[in-house]
Structures are given as C-alpha cells and as structure tokens.
Chain A
C-alpha cells in the first residue's frame, strides 16, 4: 500500500486504570470519565489533535475498553472519520504465537509499530488520556523541527515547593535537556514534564526495539526510554507550555478541574476563544427545562436536563433530572443522574446513571482552611431515601 507520508501521527495512551479515581473508574477507563457537563476526558487531547492539524490518532486502550470504543466510534464528532488516517482504537491484539497485554507505555507503542509505519511519519506525538488542557501541538511540533530534536518534551513551570512530586527536566539556556530527575528530593528546577512527547519516528523506533529486548526494562517512557536516550547523548529539548493544564487523576483534582470551568472568566474556559473548540460526541437530547424558582447561580447545566431544584456553583451534566426542594452546591453531577425531592448534595461527585432517592444527604459543608472532603457516589449507584453519605465518603 502506497500511503501518503504523514508529518506527525499521534498516539494517545488511554489504557490507564485510573485506580486513584476509585469508584468512578470501576467500570470505566479513565479517559472515558465524564468532565465539564458533556465531555469526557479524552475529548481534550483528541480535540487538541484536530485543532493542531493532526489527523491521524491511534488510541491505545487496554482497561475497560468497551465504553471508550463505543464513545470514539468512527471519530466523526472530532472530524476524524478520514479515509487516510483518522482515529483508530488499538487494543492489545492476539498474535499468532501469544497475546500480550501492554506491559508499559513504551511497550504499548512498540506493539503498534505496524500501525505507525502505515503512515510513514516523520514524527510521533505521544499523549496521555488523563489531562484537561487546551494546547496547540503544531507549535510544539514546529519547535521540535526547528531544533532538529530527537525528542521534545512538553514542560510547565510548577511551584518550586511542589517540584519534588513531578518528573523534572533540567535544561540548558537553549532549552536542551541535560538531566531528567523523577520526583527529585532536591529539585534543581521546576520544569515538570507533562507526559507529552514528540519523537523523531526513526529514533523512537530504534529505542523501542532496544527497550523491548532489554529484559530488565519496565518498558516505560519516563523510567526507561527517555533516560536511555539522554544517556546516549541524543538531542532532547524541553518545550514550555504556559496555559491551563490539570492532571485529573485523583478525586480532588477531578473535582477541582470541574469547578475551574465555572465563572465568567474561569481558570479553564470550555468556550475557548472560538478557535480551539473542544469537541464531544453529542446525543439526541432535547433542550433543558428550568422550572420556576430554579435560580442557577454560577453553574454549568448541559442539555437534556429537567431542573426543578436549586443549583449553586456546580456542574450538571447531560440528561439529569433534579426534583424540587433539592439543593446542589459545589458538586459535579455526571450524566443521566436522577435526583429526587428534598435531597442535599454538597462537595460531591455523583457518577453516571445514579439515582439519589428523596431526602438523601450527600457530603457536607466546607470551612475555609480545612481540607475539602469530597464525597463520591460511583456509577449506577442507588442512594436510598434519607440515606446519609458522609463528607469524604466513597460509595
């Protein structure tokens, strides 16, 4: 097959189990977790690809892939239903001799070398499926090409006191990386890796093969491949990203990122500037109905909802029903949740398809200066009438 050469192919690592998201990922891959009223986490990197002119994306799935496969479909919502390229979901597949799970991030790409080679790309962009951000990868790619780098790693400045929680890239004045430290006790800089890499494909391919042949390797980009490249004196560059970026791998960061979409000038504006739109799969739902007396202050409410209760500073996702005399505050209600009368929900995340029966109380108030306790109700749970879910409790 004689395919047109691609400048850059994106590989999106969506296999993470997301165990720190607890019940929210019991039956859902982390990238398929709902966000911002109508999106799923994977919509952000996928939309970034489209908005950056990258039209070939491989999505590597492993854990609970069914829902994600269905969500991605033929890629039409993102304009990725292309005849050459487009989006492909790549689960680990059975080979003639053995069937292998993806052992690590690098191994996941290694197993898909045949997929990448179909497009004969100059570069490969590696993304993860658990970050909320809006980024123009085309600028990073231009930076990568100008510096003729073998690998360019996106970094962002984090507060120095937090730097020891991240993979830190120590750079020369020209942006080249001379040292990589994973969670250093005494960080020398605050350039934290965002887990976004652009590799020259011919270089990456060589390292993937070598890494695969090393029985001691964990087959991980951060732990094995990048340190090996650094040790060999390859050209590594750090590309600094300044916009909003959030790893939503924990309950509190997922809650926070949702709250940061609220307000007239939110920290993360889902509306964007009209150029870099975030796309999502849309379902045929009617417009929402807002009843008399419903004063929805500083909240996002998506389509297909019927709201009779009172909502403050919350995100209410598609297809939710909120009955009268119910109060929701500082909470994230995921899609298709039914909330009956007289319920109080504060500082909570309610998973998809839950039913909260009348009189239930979920979560509690939060006092300035205390650690916020987020209550979580997992997908498809039923909270019985008058049941109490304590602050911080996870069901």
Chain B
C-alpha cells in the first residue's frame, strides 16, 4: 500500500508498567520469547506493504533504536520513506510530548507533510496482535468515514480503564464513545489503531494545538465526534489482541501464548512477525530435564524442570531447579535447586543455588535487569 504511511507510538503507558520500563520504552519490552512489543505493530504495517513509518518516542529510547535500527528487518531500509524516529528534541520541542496530538504536531511539518501518501495509520505498540491492515484501510475507504477506529470486544470488564471505548448500535454504528473509562462489558476497546486521510490529521492537530488540546482520543476523536464535526466508524477485529498496559496484563499475556489458539493467532504461516535477529545456537535440552508447556527461545541450556513458562534467549536452568509460571528474559541464569513461581526475571538476572521466590498471578515477583539474588 504505497498510498499509506504510519505513525507508531512507542511509549504511552510506561508509567503503569513500573520497573519493567525504567530503562526502556514499553515498545521495546521483550515479549513472547524472542520479540519486542513493537515488532507486532511494525510487522503488521510491513505485511500490509507500508514502507514509510514514523516511530514516536519520548525517552528511554536507546534500547528501542538499538532494536529497530534502520528497520531493515521490516523492509524499511529505503531511500525514500522508510523509517523515521520522532522524538521531542529532534522536532525542536524542549519538553516531552503531553499527548499523541503534540507528537503528531511535532511530526507534521517534516514527516507527515513531506510524505506523498494520502492515508495515515496510527498504531500503538502496547497492543499485540496480527492484523490485516490492508483490509482495514480498504474498509475505511469504502465506508467514506473521516476516521476508522479498530475495536475489540471482550476487553472491557468494568475494571480496566480504556483509552477509548465505544458501544455500537444494531447497525454497527458508534452509539457511544468514552475516554479513560472503565467501561462495562458491552463496550468495545479501541486497539490504538486509527485510519484517516493524512490531510485531515494535519488540519486537526493544528486546530487542536491552538486550543491547547493535546490528547488524541479525548480532545480530537471524542470531542469532534460529539460535536458532529467528525464521522467515525468502528472496525471490529475478531482475532486475538493482547493489551499490555499494566504489569499484571504483561505477565498474563506473555504466558498466554502458551495456549495453542492464541499462539497460532499471533504467529501465522501467512503473516510473519519480524524481529531483530540475534544469532544463537539451538537450545540444548539436557539429560533429565523436564519441560512442560513452555515457550523456549534459542540459546538456552535446560537441565532442570520448567513448567508453563516463557524462556527468552540464552536462559540457563540448572539441575534440580524448578521454574513454574515465570517469564524469564534473556541471559538469566537460574542456579542449582532454585525454585521460582510467578516471577518475571528481567534480562541478565542471576538466581543463586537454592533460592526460592514465589509470587502470585496478580503480583508476580519482578527482578530488575542484572539483579543477583
């Protein structure tokens, strides 16, 4: 789709993910054994043939840039278009973006206006899914609407605060729209994916900026829709979408891909998820190890027992160690006889022999990068 460009937002919810995002953006959080969260948004865009993407990021973006680099894994290393980073200081702004609209405004003069594309997709790195965006853009064009928002049923539960929630009438038209709302179950959650004409977006941000409106969902989509100035259509996504907006969700969703249906919905034969390649040896499963219901990346050495867990690259599980319901990020080492349940081990963690750490599904024990226990 040469006529479409995209903006991907890398840190929106960092504050609600606590220590996991102390030194990285939410977008660069490891997910699913060998990915970073942003791989899904970038791959969805790349698989739709989109070759001009701006990645909006505010702070802690060293690991993100290190991961995405020039974007060659997503076919974005191009003479024209390709990958662009949008950061406050590089855009001549001396404080961080207060909201998506400010970020878009910062990007509008350079990235948006210089691009030749007619349409723009906005996407959020916090929602993990494998979606056919070509279909979404086509539906948007066919609908004649100003904006199409991609929504997902089954996320609203009265407790989770949604950025944007909509309810639909019998014809699938938006009946109600709300922001920052712990919506009841009959509402659908916006997945952070919006399609519109680029010209409309540029005009909207200029209008919003001069009125000190900086939050995209509240100050633009909801307000203009409520004022009758904006026609908004909802496109319902039927497949798996994982919202990683809190530590608890992040933990649960990492383990969710152990489920065959969820895994096969995200990793499909017809839609590859690309990531930065880290060349590792195959994982060695030793004498006497016992691995039950696990996701295991390359480069691990497994000599102990691991159950219902996700192991990233180069994890070592020593003899007699028992790891259950854990997310273990790259290069962590679990010593002889150690016992871990409901833990998130960030990268490079060392668990000494015999250590016992037990969390709960709601409150997993979280170890910081490089911790030695």
Contacts and interface: CB of A to CB of B under 8 A. Distances in A.
A284 B298 contact: no
A290 B291 contact: yes
A302 B298 contact: yes
B277 A282 contact: yes
Nearest to A298: B287
B39 to A, nearest CB: 9
Contact of A291 (B293, B298, B310, B312): B293
Which of the listed residues B282, B285, B286, B295 has the most CB atoms from chain A within 10 Å of its own CB?
A: B282
Contacts of A278: 281
B280 to A, nearest CB: 8
Interface stretch (B118-126, B231-239, B242-250, B266-274): B266-274
Contacts of B36: none
Contacts of B281: 36-38, 270-271, 278, 300
B73 interface: yes
Interface in B255-314: 258, 260, 263, 266-267, 272-275, 277-279, 281-298, 303, 310-312
Contacts of A297: 285-289
Interface residues of B, number: 39
A286 B311 CA distance: 12
B292 A292 contact: yes
A166 to B, nearest CB: 30
A286 B279 contact: no
Contacts of A366: none
Contact of B33 (A262, A264, A286, A293): A286
B67 to A, nearest CB: 14
A286 B293 contact: no
A279 B279 contact: yes
A47 to B, nearest CB: 10
A380 interface: no
Given A293-B292, A297-B287, A301-B285, A287 B279 contact: no
Contacts of B252: none
Contacts of A270: 281-282
Interface string B152-190: 000000000000000000000000000000000000000
Nearest to B285: A296
Chain A's interface size range is 35 or more
A287 B277 contact: no
A353 to B, nearest CB: 14
A322 to B, nearest CB: 13
A288 B33 CA distance: 9
Contact of A289 (B35, B263, B283, B285): B263
A282 B34 CA distance: 13
A317 B272 CA distance: 19
A295 interface: yes
Contacts of A290: 291-296
Nearest to B74: A284
Which of the listed residues A38, A289, A296, A302 has the most CB atoms from chain B within 10 Å of its own CB?
A: A289
A109 interface: no
Contact of A300 (B32, B275, B284, B312): B284
A77 B278 CA distance: 10
Contacts of B33: 286-287
A288 B286 contact: no
Given A286-B267, A287-B33, A302-B298, A292 B293 contact: yes
A287 B285 contact: no
Q: Name the 5 nearest CB pairs between A and B, nearest first.
A: A287-B33, A37-B282, A296-B285, A302-B282, A287-B297
Given A36-B281, A264-B286, A287-B34, 14 more contacts: A37-B282, A77-B277, A287-B298, A288-B297, A289-B263, A290-B294, A291-B293, A295-B289, A296-B289, A298-B286, A302-B298, A303-B282, A303-B297, A318-B282
21 contacts: A36-B281, A37-B282, A38-B281, A77-B279, A282-B277, A286-B32, A286-B33, A286-B35, A287-B32, A287-B296, A287-B298, A289-B258, A289-B295, A290-B294, A292-B292, A295-B289, A295-B290, A301-B285, A302-B282, A303-B34, A316-B282
